[in-house]
Amino acid sequence: MERKIIIRILVDIGHPAHVHLFRNILKSFEDAGYEYLVVARNKDITLNLLRLYNIPYIVIAPIGYGTFGSFRELVQREIKLFLIGRKFKPDIITGTSVNAARVAKMLGAKSVILNEDDAGVVPLFRWLAYPLATAIVTPKSLAYENYGTSHLTYPSYQKLFYLHPNRFTPDKSVRKELGISDDERYAIIRTSALKAHHDRNALGITQELISEVIELVKGNIRIFISSERELESEFNAYRMGISPERMHHALAFADFFVGDSQSMTMEAALLGTPAFRINSFVGRITVIKEIENYGLAFGFRPGQEGLLFDELKRLLAMEDRKDEFKKRLKKILSEKIDPLPWFLNIIDMMLHDKSVQEIKELDMEKYRGNWKWGD
């Protein structure tokens, strides 16, 4: 009797956006009969999202803050990931993880590291995650960083792993969850904690700007605030009360988005919602600059609140705003692939011992439109 070969994949998740990134990937692994194990970092709503999507997970280390705390967490995660991996025996370790490549090397497994931030923004990640990786997977806009033979690029974005129209359809019933009528206009403001190691000394949206935006649209557009940090009590009435896995549906129907979150700025823009970002990273993140070039997002640095306010007023005065942003969204989607089937295909090729060079020769046109894994 032929012995059945079991494929095992270990996935390291460290951020709420990575839950969205991997949830469809994990479903595809399950459909293919692969065993997978998720290890997670208890950051923001990461664990809550994993529970909402019924994804089992293991937390392998407490969050560390500051230089010493971050280093301690790094060491603890590496040790625990190695011990878990030694028992699980993965064929591949994947994630947006600084530990995955080194642990995979120690275990004799392959590693696939995903990232969409420029190395200059997350230098520690580059130094720790890339040197031993079997494959480094980034959007094509980061091809200029050229990480050598292990660098795989794709003409798309991580956010389209879960927001591509092939698998995401905005649900209008989210309006009921927000407590608004079908024709009532609303906008979303997002404030981030800015506590990651690469956020040191970073600035974001101020409470003064939040007040000014609320005042600008008062009586016309209802404001909802999603915040990772403490806000003045005057903003309590504006806090969103929906379940976190419904946020993308809410973003899709909003008149506009204002915030200091990189992830949510990209998500809003790739849903066709005008996205205004204000933080210290503006001008430094290539994938967002590319989306700004399509006219779907607008970036401003701290101190440029007046410019943001003027641009927001100009946008609100556009009579054909909805149609114009639909055109811009259609253009960007027509020029990008659906990255999910492409990623699943490279995982399959690596499991069959195909080289990174062979993967680079894949025809990207195959992944436009309604291509499905297995076609």
How far is the C-alpha of 186 from the C-alpha of 184, rounded, in Å? 7
Q: What is the pLDDT of residues 125-140, one digit of tens each?
A: 888 889 899 999 999 9
Q: Which two tokens stand for residue 336?
A: 């990008």
Residue 370 — pLDDT band, cuts 50, 70, 90? low
Q: If you average pLDDT over residues 40-69, what whole number do you get?
A: 87
Type and span of the H or E element at 346: helix 339-351
Q: What is the pLDDT of residues 145-187, one digit of tens each?
A: 988 899 999 999 999 999 999 999 999 999 999 999 999 999 9
> Mind listing the domains of the chain with CATH numbers?
8-164+338-367 (3.40.50.2000), 174-334 (3.40.50.2000)
What is the 8-class DSSP label of residue 127? Answer: H
Type and span of the H or E element at 226: strand 222-227
The helix-helix angle for 286-293 and 262-269 (nearest 10°) equals 30
Q: If you average pLDDT over residues 200-220, what whole number do you get?
A: 85
Helix (H, G, I), strand (E, B) or coil at 268: helix
Question: Residue 213: what pLDDT?
Answer: 95
Q: What is the pLDDT of residues 279-310, one digit of tens each?
A: 988 999 999 999 999 999 999 999 999 999 99
Closest CA to 261 of 239, 245, 285: 285
CB 284, CB 297: distance < 8 Å: no
The backbone torsions φ and ψ at residue 158, rounded to the nearest 5 degrees and listed phi first, read: -60, -35
Radius of gyration of the chain (CA): 21
Inform me whether the pLDDT recorded for 374 exceeds 80.
Answer: no
How far is the C-alpha of 279 from the C-alpha of 263, rounded, in Å? 13
Q: What is the pLDDT of residues 302-314, one digit of tens each?
A: 999 999 999 999 9
Closest CA to 300 of 266, 277, 320: 277
Inform me whether the pLDDT recorded for 90 exceeds 90.
Answer: yes
The proportion of the chain whose per-residue pLDDT surpasses 70, expressed as a percent, equals 94
Question: Residue 369: what pLDDT?
Answer: 66
Inform me whether the pLDDT recorded for 34 exceeds 70.
Answer: yes
Question: Residue 3: what pLDDT?
Answer: 54
How far is the C-alpha of 303 from the C-alpha of 204, rounded, in Å? 10
Q: What is the pLDDT of residues 257-272, one digit of tens each?
A: 999 999 999 999 999 9
CB 309, CB 216: distance < 8 Å: yes
Helix (H, G, I), strand (E, B) or coil at 136: strand
CB 324, CB 296: distance < 8 Å: no
Residues 6+ apart with CB under 8 A from 30: 36
- Taking all residues of the chain, what is their mean pLDDT, rounded to a whole number? 91
Q: From residue 298, how far is each of 271, 274, 294, 304 by CA, in Å?
A: 15, 8, 10, 12
Q: If you average pLDDT over residues 208-229, what whole number do you get?
A: 93
Question: Residue 4: what pLDDT?
Answer: 59
CB 92, CB 109: distance < 8 Å: yes
The proportion of the chain whose per-residue pLDDT surpasses 90, expressed as a percent, equals 74
Question: Residue 95: what pLDDT?
Answer: 94
Helix (H, G, I), strand (E, B) or coil at 263: helix
How far is the C-alpha of 313 from the C-alpha of 220, rounded, in Å? 13
Residues 6+ apart with CB under 8 A from 217: 187, 223, 316
Helix (H, G, I), strand (E, B) or coil at 336: coil
Inform me whether the pLDDT recorded for 198 exceeds 70.
Answer: no
Identity of the amino acid at 290: E
